[in-house]
Structure 1
């Protein structure tokens, strides 16, 4: 029984083995068939590649034949021509004015590319003629021509010379006989010197002296003209060189802003200059007079009428008649020149006391009609400009960076300022800031664009820190205006006791001012005339006497 079971198991195992062998045989047969198919495909691909190679070889042979034919045609065409292609055949009429086109010049490369649609347009380009007129324009056209058409360097001058006519051709022949054939750069310089009167030294001098006088647009036009001339003589000048020169030639109120923006290209500098010009013009436009319709006033004044002057006179920006033109804001240099010549700010006539009176009476009439003149938000009193101590001002001594200075506490000035020269001498840290237009009480306009962001000083043992702008004060070292006083509210000014009481975090601080120096002021006729011309005066009275001081050698008038 056990033997029969084992025999049955052996038969079953053999049957399974036979099935596995059959499956393996089938898989191997399928793999062999797939391999044969791949080999057949590879064979077909090889045959296709062989056929393609044959076709390529045939195509190359055809191309070589075509190239050989083209070369033979070019050789036949250029048989009677020079390297530039300007030679004329015997059959051509001597009076013919036919011009050379580009396919006469650039050889086999151009012929091989002549089938290109984008290149055919260049075949019709003609080299510009030059007859001695507008040499710079002709040079620019030649430069663009050579940029578009690949002409060898040694062929540029001969090509240009055959396109000269009239007096230009006569000059070139004479130039070659005297100096030989020039290079392209030498030819450009020679043409400009002959036909444009363009001298290298003069161009460099004009370029170095170029500065903005009117608008940025006008300055840029002249700058670009000189820039092109400079590049003619020296092509190694880079963009940074021209950018720095452009910035240095701008007006002061524009140059500072552009420089602080650190432009990296000339284009950026130009854009910044234009924007700053718009900003400055917008600020200055606010200082222009606002015209009002007023009746014309008679210019006649009775001779026996005694001129009177009011200490509180403030110039009014009102028109004398409805047809008068707005007054242009004078620059600092223009106002200084007019003061030296004793000329009126509003016309070219000598400024006289009668004109002061007429101008002041007109302002009084306008004020009676209820019209108010435009005033600036930022004002500076005459006391601050001259350093005078009078009503509304107190003088104290202070210390800045270990140096003693005089400080004027002025309730008539809206802002605080330190003199530019004093700030520089004391080594105070400054930085550029937004432009501020300051109106002095006499109508004079000043500009402040530098600030001391953290100016510290000491007065009578007390420390103070406050941002202060710089200004050309002249008569005073340091002015503390209403902005500083407002930062220490409440403030008490005692002009009898000469004290200033201000508030700080630790409590109230009392500052004692220096004694005021009172007395009459001696003034020369020239100084009096200058004051009238500048419209800057404090107090005028009747002249009592005139005396001669021999030791000073001048006539002095005592004003009381």
Structure 2
């Protein structure tokens, strides 16, 4: 019996000693729990601050968007005002011309000369229409970017209402450098028949085919830098392609965007190319703001695109590529006035 009591006593002593050891460990456990709770509280505070920063940035972005809309509306109002001013000036000019013609009829007082006066009036009107645009000059063509030059040349011809023969003469005067050499070589061997023939042969000679056809370059357009540069490149490539439908333009534009921008714009379901371009610009602005605020560590842990490629230049070569601030040379061409017999003057504009 005594042995059993001793064994039980020893077992109790061991249990008591183990309980004492556990009691000694309790303060350390409490310290660890306290440290964990403090860490959790600090993380909660940081989370709240990041949420506040995010909300503030979103408000700034909305304010910038509203400001951009307001500026666009102001620009439209200004353009309408300028159009009204131009129309009023045109109306005033026509009224003055009519008054001068009436004064001539009163002074002459001869009904038999009405037809002659009408012809003179028509000639005066043509001369007046030309004089309204006397400051519009013909661009000089040296062989670079023939599509842009033809576009501006056609507008010049519309303003001055030139005949087909006059178009040929004015075009030759505006040629310089390689373009003039080419025209002289062709004129001596295979003369140009009319303005359409000159345009087609000019495009065949000077339109670059090194990067492929116009359609091939357009459909291969990809964004490699900012949205603004991509839009400029897109507009430049689509300018000579007037036969493409709006649907083709929209699909080509959105397919060339960065994947993350394309996904964000597609989610918004824009209607029409202008609205699509506007949403793309907003998406880029939002991305730049987030990068500058360094919010990616909280939102996704990484950048949505590689910043190292953000300023990579576009790879599609264009006419005049690599030239900055290249101004189009102009040439003043004074057309013959049928009313007063003034001679034609040519030479570079000052």
Question: TM-score, normalization: structure 1?
Answer: 0.30
Structure richer in strand, relative to its length: 1
Could you say which structure has the larger radius of gyration?
1
